Structure 1
């Protein structure tokens, strides 16, 4: 990582060329992915009208995270992280072109869409943890928490623009959405190439079981970090409602693709408001309690969304949902990235992404499967209540996490107990 800045200095993150390229690459990639996600969700629901198929979208994306995440960590620690990111983004651009061509020709169907989704998910499996492992080497250590928050803020801005653009542009057809996504992925890959080559990765290691398992072994010896990762796993598994948004948009709130775009963007609006503040002032002090509070609010907002029949109230609930989730993300990422050595950071981030990615997609499957049997309202309601209950359970299971005060560990008794 870059050496710490002198005491009292506070350089602008936008004056760090490597960070600017990183930020641009991430924003464009996330924007394209979110646009594509809206188009795929609406297109599949138009093709099949099945809530279970919307859940299967999550399940298909779940498979690569489970099978490949440990391998991803080995590549993120042993190879040029810029190159891995660039390759993933280029692959997603080509897959977006395939979606555009299949839709334009009228030959795309349920099976082909799920096949392309599997390949897209594979590329994302490699891109996400590598991006996170790349960030700590781009900025001085003293401003890393701000950089994490700024990256999260930019990610949320892209998550706002992406669904809204995807929903609006879908009026011109899914082909147009996919073609534009391909162009954005190409520019993102170009920016990843422009990140200065002096950014260090860990020394390359021979591919072995020991190397693949290094991230898990490290987390097993760090109860606080293990608690952070598993808390996100269980809360998102129960509390996610993304897969249900097409159903809520069409059948409960009685809107069209534009409404789906607004619903998908609403969590990012709340998240952007929070992360914009955290990018200027890192969330230090009583971090453990703040993390638990954020996950509890996440669950409560899910409950409100489940019971709402008003578009305005649903958007407000999803904005709170997104704000709470973003607060949790910034705290979790900050704790992991400041307390993990660079030599294993890629593998630890891969384990973290395996949990966060699989719970997001598996949570989508859970939501869709439960909705198919009991309806979307019951599915979302059970998820929100479950998230609150699990937050309380984790407070008892991992008490050292509640005592964490700041990102960097110190020598206080609470930290030693952790």
Structure 2
């Protein structure tokens, strides 16, 4: 027998939450994401309430709901025009500087809304103009932020980091609307002022990140790089199927744009109750995110994602039909938890299979789909509410989301059969 020592296996990498929290720059990134999302949510609550209140002075319920939905469209159009170039920018330039600069622009947007509120302006066009500027900054923020996150942690920690990043966003999405509703009771100007402060704090935290977030230089012209990113998404059917499923399901099931209408003219619960409705989806999402942060999905990822989207559609139908506050809140909690389930699977799949050099462009394409689902979903809900009323619009959207789930399960069998997230 040989006297040589027997080979030993390398120790498994530490993928615990404690290991993740030892990554200083990720903690800064996580906190900046939380603080900036607080600002976005507070601003969104105040903006929707203010536009609806101004519109109701001269318009019907349906027309006013349509005007609220146009906020999302105003933000989406510049995002659609700029996001592919923004993705290419995120793959060429220092990502933390892009994040800090766009958050500074968000602070400017909030300061303009603050000035409009303080002046007592009842004109809607300046609000929509600011929404366009906000959408333009979001076009550059989203791909840079998404691509920067994986650079801040070792690869074995990536699935847990994605779950914790989602938890940051979702927990802020609970606190933000609730805080926004409380601030609205005082005044819209108070809400916009707090958003302004949060954007500046988040920008400062982004600048404190020490990790080099400059991606490797990519050869080729800007147009060639954009085309390369589009081709990658199109040819990778798991990536394309997952983000397109989110697009169409949320476009049809985007009832959150109608929450001001339900709060004021269906459930009659005022601005405080509106804040509760806005926070309810994030409560469900946060519960699911906390669970996933400690218990990542290990098998049957594709089926779990489709289940999440189906539950999202069913919960939307229940919310639309409900006339009871507790049932409406419960449906929104379920809706948010189901959405978090599908978002977690989609984000993990996309981040793991995409090379770092292409993450900005892929994140930009994904961002177009996600923003289209959110903003066009708001527009679809507003148009449907104009013709069907808010209840009919919500029910129609939920049924549509269920139909999309079944169709995509048939069109993308590889996505349905996706198993492990590693």
Q: Which residues of 2 match residues 192-271 of structure 1 at below 5 A?
A: 192-205=206-219, 207-271=221-285
Distance 1:252 1:113 in 2: 26
Is 1:148 matched up with 2:162? Answer: yes
**Partner of residue 385 from structure 1, selected from 394, 399, 402:** 399
Q: When the two structures are aligned, how many residues end up with a matched partner?
A: 404
Note if 1:15 corresponds to 2:22.
yes
**Which residue is equivalent to 2:33?**
26
**Alpha-carbon separation, structure 2, partners of 1:232 and 1:187:** 31
- TM-score of the two chains, using structure 2 as the length reference: 0.94
Computing the radius of gyration from Cα coordinates, the structure with the larger value is 2
**Residue 220 of structure 1: how far off its partner (Å):** 1.7
Which aligned runs of 4 or more in structure 1 are off by greater than 4 angstroms? 204-207
Deviation of 1:10 (Å): 3.1
Q: Superposed, which structure 2 residues align to 1:1-12 within 5 Å?
A: 7-11=12-16, 12=18
Q: C-alpha distance in 1, partners of 2:30/2:115?
A: 30
- Tell me which moved more, 59-68 or 141-150: 59-68
- What secondary structure sits across from 1:79 in the alignment? coil
Which residue of the partner structure matches residue 416 of structure 1? none
CA RMSD of aligned residues (A): 1.3
**Equivalent residues in 2 for 1:146-185, closer than 5 Å:** 146-185=160-199
Answer whether contact 1:148 1:334 (CA < 8 A) is retained.
Answer: yes
Q: Is the 8 A contact 1:77 1:346 kept in 2?
A: yes
How many angstroms does 1:105 deviate by? 1.6
Alignment TM-score, normalising by the size of structure 1: 0.94
Does residue 47 in structure 1 map to residue 54 in structure 2? yes
Give 2:44's match in structure 1, choosing from 22, 37, 40: 37
Unaligned runs of 5+ in 2: 1-9, 57-63
Pick aligned residue for 1:287 from 301, 306, 316? 301
**Secondary structure of the equivalent of 1:213?**
helix
Asked if structure 1 preserves the Cα contact closer than 8 Å seen for 2:93 and 2:214, the reply is: no
Q: Distance in 2 between matches of 1:54 and 1:197?
A: 40
Task: Give runs of aligned pairs for residues 309-388 of structure 1, distance below 5 A.
Answer: 309-388=323-402
**The one of 401, 408, 421 aligned to 1:394:** 408
* Unaligned ranges ≥5, structure 1: 409-418
Q: Deviations over 1:49-86 (max 9, x none)?
A: 21110121121112022111101111111110100000
Whole-angstrom CA distance in 2 between matches of 1:326 and 1:366: 22
Cα distance in 1 between the residues matched to 2:378 and 2:357: 33
The answer as to whether partners of 1:295 and 1:391 remain within 8 angstroms in 2 is yes
Pairs within 5 Å for 1:111-150: 111-150=125-164
